[in-house]
Amino acid sequence: MALDAETRDQLIDTVRRFVTERLRPLEAKVSEDDAIPADVIEEMKELGLFGLSIPTEYGGLGLDMEEEVLVCIELGRTSPAFRSSFGTNVGIGSQGLVMFGTPEQKAKYLPGVASGEIVTSFALTEPEAGSDSANVQTRAVRDGDHYVLNGTKRYITNANRADLFTVMARTDPSKPGGGGVSAFLVERNLPGLSVGKPEKKMGQQGAHICDVMFDNVRVPAENRLGGEGEGFKVAMQVLDRGRLHISGICVGVAERLIADCVAYASERKQFGQALAQFQLVQGMIADSKTEALAARALTLESARKRDAGQNVTMEAAASKYFASEMVGRVADRAVQIFGGAGYIAEYGIERFYRDVRIFRIYEGTSQIQQVIISRETLKRGG
């Protein structure tokens, strides 16, 4: 259920002030330490950020898609690592449970997810199943009232902090592709489940990804999410929402970078005048602003369609494709406008340049989005 306008505006204003006053001053420290301070995590919990998309009956804020995107735009105005700390609880780590969970599963887990007491993670990617997400090799074999899981998941966000994993595993090896894949809610403390050390990454220091290994992990059959063989459907519907979430973050980061470029170009002088007076610099600012406005409009329109109950598989893919490519171009122009200052760490522009690169990869690469967009367009007849 959508918030009333006044409540929505208050929430957005609160998040904006939290980003400006609390998070932005910590950006360099988080990057250097590769960690978000524990007290900041607690403040995020108190603000309800871990439960943005969790229904109110389970203690969340119950935002619809448009409201979530608007909040994401505000969260995008600081280092993406902050958002990543609770992003799996809001998106891919919880939405399978929200959409497909039984009443018992929801009652058991969602209140803890909403409060941040339970950190969730989404385990789909494998060494041989990245863009080819239907090629899941992790096995789940029925054994009485349990399934026994064996396999390895790779690049799993928040795995080192997660208490609950949504795991895609193959239950029917005779069915190729996604038809033989099922989804499971797997608790961190089950014997045989282990998590590797965080990977060293190009950007987004403070947000961690790890391998997750399953060695004869016995998962109660009651923890299967949806029907047997429905795992790929669960994953794809979760990713539709996740792609709109990421699109909102991309828009926010772009708007932050544009504001930084305008401030710097207005103050920095060359040849006796501010950089902002040079038409070639103005052209870069104009291109960035136009693309950011287009991404915002596309993402919000797609979110409203989803809230209206429409199938937005194509629109979500188009939003994520355009917004993630857009923010990469904006970040590149920002480095150019800042010049040498954009290449050194002091101004933070080079950090954002590295941070935004992953947006074109996770939640489905740009090339996968192109495949989805073309497939859905052909299916719809134009």
Burial of 228 (0-12, 13-18, 19+ CB in 10 A): middle
Q: What is the pLDDT of residue 382?
A: 86
Long-range contacts of 48-52 (CB under 8 A, 24+ apart): 48/114, 49/15, 49/86, 49/90, 49/116, 50/86, 50/89, 50/90, 50/113, 50/114, 50/115, 50/116, 51/89, 51/90, 51/113, 51/114, 51/115, 51/116, 52/90
If phi > 0 it is left, if psi is from -120 to 50 it is alpha, else beta; for residue 186 that is beta
Q: What is the pLDDT of residue 15?
A: 97
Q: How confident is the model at residue 135 (pLDDT cuts 50, 70, 90)?
A: confident
Mean pLDDT of 357-363: 95
Residue 242 CB neighbours (<10 A):
24
Asked whether residue 3 carries a pLDDT value surpassing 90, the answer given is no
pLDDT in tens, 82-96: 999 999 999 888 999
Mean pLDDT of 356-362: 96
Q: Which of 48-57, 229-238, 249-258, 276-285 has the lowest mean pLDDT?
A: 229-238
The H-assigned helical ranges of the chain are 5-18, 27-33, 38-47, 65-75, 80-90, 95-100, 103-115, 231-267, 279-307, 313-338, 340-343, 349-355, 366-380
Asked whether residue 298 carries a pLDDT value surpassing 70, the answer given is yes
Question: Which residue numbers are catalytic?
Answer: 363
User: How many whole angstroms separate alpha carbon 262 and alpha carbon 246?
Assistant: 24
pLDDT in tens, 95-124: 999 999 999 999 999 999 999 999 999 999
State how beta strands 193-195 and 139-143 pair.
Answer: unpaired
Mean pLDDT of 195-208: 95
Q: What is the pLDDT of residue 156?
A: 96
- Which residues share a beta bridge with 338? none
Q: How is residue 123 written in tokens?
A: 């385990």
pLDDT in tens, 278-295: 999 999 999 999 999 999
Mean pLDDT of 211-224: 98
Contact in structure between 244 and 303 (CB atoms under 8 Å): yes
pLDDT in tens, 149-161: 999 999 999 999 9
User: How many whole angstroms separate alpha carbon 263 and alpha carbon 286?
Assistant: 14
User: How many whole angstroms separate alpha carbon 297 and alpha carbon 4?
Assistant: 21
Q: How confident is the model at residue 133 (pLDDT cuts 50, 70, 90)?
A: confident
Q: What is the pLDDT of residue 129?
A: 84
Residue 34's SS3 state is coil
Contacts of 347 (CB under 8 A, 6+ apart): 260, 264, 338, 341
Contact in structure between 91 and 269 (CB atoms under 8 Å): no
Q: What is the pLDDT of residue 218?
A: 98
Asked whether residue 18 carries a pLDDT value surpassing 70, the answer given is yes
pLDDT in tens, 300-353: 999 999 999 999 999 999 999 999 999 999 999 999 999 999 999 999 999 999
**What is the model's pTM?**
0.95
Asked whether residue 1 carries a pLDDT value surpassing 80, the answer given is no
Q: Chain-wide mean pLDDT for the chain? A: 95
Label each residue of 304-346 as H, E or C.
Answer: HHHHCCCCCHHHHHHHHHHHHHHHHHHHHHHHHHHCHHHHCHH
